[in-house]
Amino acid sequence: MKFINLKPSQKLIDLSKVKVLIHPQAKDALTLWQRLKSRNTEIDLFVLDKFYRPPLRLIAGNASTLYFINDFARVNNILISNSSDKYPCLITPESIQDIQMLAWAEVVKLVFSKDIHHPQLFKALKKMAPKSVIYKLMNIDSLTIDNYCSFANITKASFEYQQSKTAVEDSVVGLPMSMDWLVN
């Protein structure tokens, strides 16, 4: 029987010298997070503090490839900055379930963003997220509007207001969607 090393290791890694990719099991969560995250720029205090940086959780791939599974905002900032700084990284073996839980937790955190469009997030979670993972993260039995509103700490009326406001904005009253008739 082959011995599998399940011991995590912590290293300082120069992320400009290794290939950092999204883990395939976390790709859907990252795509949804990128689509729905706030466009407002926030100050990343961890970039300013060179002495304390929480380690990035990565999974070792083949050769010089590392996979990230969560902390999407920090990884995004690090990859955009192309800094030659070394970052503390926790290289851990993870199960598929752990990877999905960590990745989808990033998406579920969007529920508490101040400018999130709740009906859009609800619809995306219902369509794309693994049900068992979402149920466990949100501590619910099924993903309904009532359960979502309770978890997000919003009223059902505000959820429905956002939903109806979007529907009205999408359908411009009295004008056709195609403006080709103006050219003639």
Give the span between the Cα atoms of 20 and 76, in whole angstroms: 11
The dihedral through the CA atoms of 126, 128, 140, 73 has a sign that is negative
Nearest to 130 by CA among 96, 163, 156, 159: 96
- Whether 74 and 42 have beta carbons less than 8 Å apart is answered as no
| Radius of gyration of the chain, Cα coordinates, nearest whole angstrom | 21
Model confidence at 118, in pLDDT bands (50, 70, 90)? Answer: very high
Confidence class for position 1, pLDDT limits 50, 70, 90: very low
Mean pLDDT, rounded, for 123-140: 94
pLDDT, one tens digit per residue, over 133-166 is 999 999 999 999 999 999 999 999 998 988 887 7
Separation between Cα atoms, residue 148 and residue 140, nearest integer Å:
9
DSSP 8-state code for residue 54: P
> What is the Cα–Cα distance from 100 to 103, expressed in whole angstroms?
5
Locate 59 and state its tokens.
């999974």
Closest CA to 67 of 20, 29, 136, 6: 20
End-to-end CA separation in angstroms for the chain: 77
What would the pLDDT profile of 32-42 be if each residue is shown by its tens digit?
A: 999 988 776 56
Token match 């609800």: residue?
122
Structure tokens belonging to residue 176: 């056709």
Q: Is the pTM value of this prediction over 0.85?
A: no
